[in-house]
Every structure is written in C-alpha cells, then in structure tokens.
Amino acid sequence: MSEEVKCLIIGSGPAGYTAAIYASRADLKPVLYQGLQPGGQLTISTEVENFPGYPEGVQGPQMMEDLKKQAVRFGTDDRFGMITEVDLSSRPFKAIADDGNQISAKTIIIATGASAKWLGLESENKFNGFGVSACATCDGFFYKGHDVAVIGGGDTACEEALYLSKLCNKVFLVHRRDELRASKALQHNIFKTKNIIIEWNHVLKEITGDKTVNGVTLENVNNKEIKSIPVEGVFIAIGHNPNSELFKGQLELTDSGYIKTKPDSTKTSVDGVFAAGDVQDNVFRQAVTAAGSGCMAAIEAEKFLMQNEN
C-alpha cells in the first residue's frame, strides 16, 4: 500500500500525541505511528505527580491512554507499528512502515523519545530478563519480598527504588557519588523510606549468579574496596539515549545523538521536518515539556504547509 499524507508523526509519547491533538484540530489529518513502545516511557512509569491538571497525580499508562483518546477524538489516524526507513532528501518525504506501507509525507514530526541506557557489563547482558531489568513497574512484581539493587542517583533511579521499596524486602540504591541528582522531593522520600539503603560512592562491577541473579559486586570509588551484597534483582536506572538512529546522516544531530532544533523552535536541519520531546531535549526531559514541544511542532508544521502547500 502507498499513501500521501500531510503530516506524519513518528512516536506516541506525550510529544507525539500532543502534536497529534494539535495537528488533527488544525485539519492536517495526521497519521501517527506508535513505534516500539506504544505510549512511550510513561507507560512503564508509575505515579506521575508533576503533570499540570492532575491534583491527585495520575498513573503514567492512564495518562497516555487519555492523550491517545484525545488525539483520536479529533481524527488522528493512530497506528500500531514502526517506521523503519525514511528518506528526507527531497519533498514530499518518504517513509516505510514495518508492514511495508509506503508513505509520502509533506511534513514529518519526529517524537521518537529516548530509551534506557545500560552499563555495558557482560554480566548485565547475561542476566538481562533473568534478574536484570530497566523497568521496576514492569518487573518489580517478580521480586516481591526479596532484596534488590537499583543503580543510579537520578529521578528515575529514585522513583524505581521507591516503587520497589513497597514490594521488596530491602532496596540497595547504588550511586557513584555522595549526593543524589534527583529532585529534592524524591530525595526526601528516599531518605525517609526505611528499607532503602543507599550505597554511596559505589559502582557496580559485576552481577553474580548461576541461572538467575544472586548478588552484586560493588566497588568503592574512593578506596577501591570491593564488597558483595546478596540480591535477586538488579534495576539499571542510569539515564537514556535518544532514539535518533533512523535519522543519522539525514538530520543534524548533537554529539550525543540528540536531533538539533533551531532556537525557540522544533525545526530541524531539514525544512518540513520537526522534532519534539526527548529525542531533541537533553535538558528538561519532562512529560510536560515534551507535550509543549509537540504542540510547537504541530503549529510549525501547519505554518509550513500553509507556506509550501502549492
């Protein structure tokens, strides 16, 4: 099948669905491909307490379901599937989906987000899915009543640790420095949670076990002392990489792979291609800022179409 669309949106997190709400209301009849993780990173998070408009907080998956419904209500063509190839060398742009569908798009909004980073240890790879995870809400249940370790000191690591503290016996939060990067509110919760033990100034050297995990080996970064802690699960929460692989060589990227956008804009290095959310933001990376940039991308796409439609 092949089709022509005014606006193709790639990605289904807060940026993608907000772009879709605005683009559909502006009659751009957007087609949205959800990508590898429908609903984006918030579908694997728990309580979202800082998105405006939810005074009691909201579960991440619920918020994404609401955003999707809102986009579909205004006519977004929301599709399960991935865009596997793009050609941005001339307009209309070309994109191919994993079902073979060939799309010719007048504008593209990229909202492909970011994915969890791994430490790169051999043992981390060996036990991935068998005691090693990057998602407490997905896998925490398996460690009910057991001891686990969380690696990292940012918001993600603290949220994961707090979530696990409700299910697990002990949670060891392993951080390479002597202060957390996470927000003060999260730090406060961490410090007052009795079964979270912080291993300051330690890095993970190895995950041990036979078929499944039975412990972690940590190194003190100051005196290089090694110690082992028995745990059944290890949650890696050390940050994210932008999902920009598809656009390498076609759009300008930063050294760390984020899509470059013009100041105060979602315009990329190619006219008619816009980027919103975590794939272009290595500073704020919040659901609300992603949603805001999704809105900007749709408005900019609409303006671009008005100026270039004929």
Catalytic residues: 135, 138-139
Min separation Cβ 256 and ligand NAP, Å: 11
Q: Does 154 bind ligand NAP (CB under 6 A)?
A: yes
Q: Kindly report the backbone phi and psi dihedral angles of residue 194, in degrees, each rounded to the nearest multiple of 5, phi listed first.
A: -65, -35
265 lies in the binding site for ligand NAP (CB under 6 A): no
Give whichever of 6 and 240 is closer to ligand NAP, judged by the CB atom. 240
Cβ contact 114:279 at 8 Å: yes
CB of 33 to ligand NAP, least distance (A): 24
Binding residue for ligand NAP, selected from 16, 30, 153, 209, defined by CB under 6 A:
153
Which of 239, 250, 257, 299 forms a contact with ligand NAP (CB under 6 A)?
239
Are 29 and 53 spatial neighbours (Cβ–Cβ below 8 Å)?
no
The distance from CA 195 to its chain's CA centroid, rounded to whole angstroms, is 28
Strands (E), the chain: 2-10, 31-33, 47-48, 58-59, 77-79, 83-87, 93-97, 102-110, 114-116, 132-133, 148-151, 171-174, 196-199, 202-209, 213-220, 226-229, 233-236, 240-242, 273-275
Q: Is 152 in the site for ligand NAP (CB under 6 A)?
A: yes
- For ligand NAP, the nearest residue by Cβ is 154
DSSP single-letter state for residue 287? H
**The one among 176, 187, 208, 305 contacting ligand NAP by CB under 6 A:** 176
Site string for ligand NAP, 70-109 (x = CB under 6 A): ----------------------------------------
- 102-110 vs 273-275, strand pairing mode: parallel
Minimum separation from the CB atom of position 128 to ligand NAP (A):
16
**Residues near ligand NAP (CB under 6 A):** 50, 119, 152-157, 159, 176-177, 181, 203, 238-240, 285-286
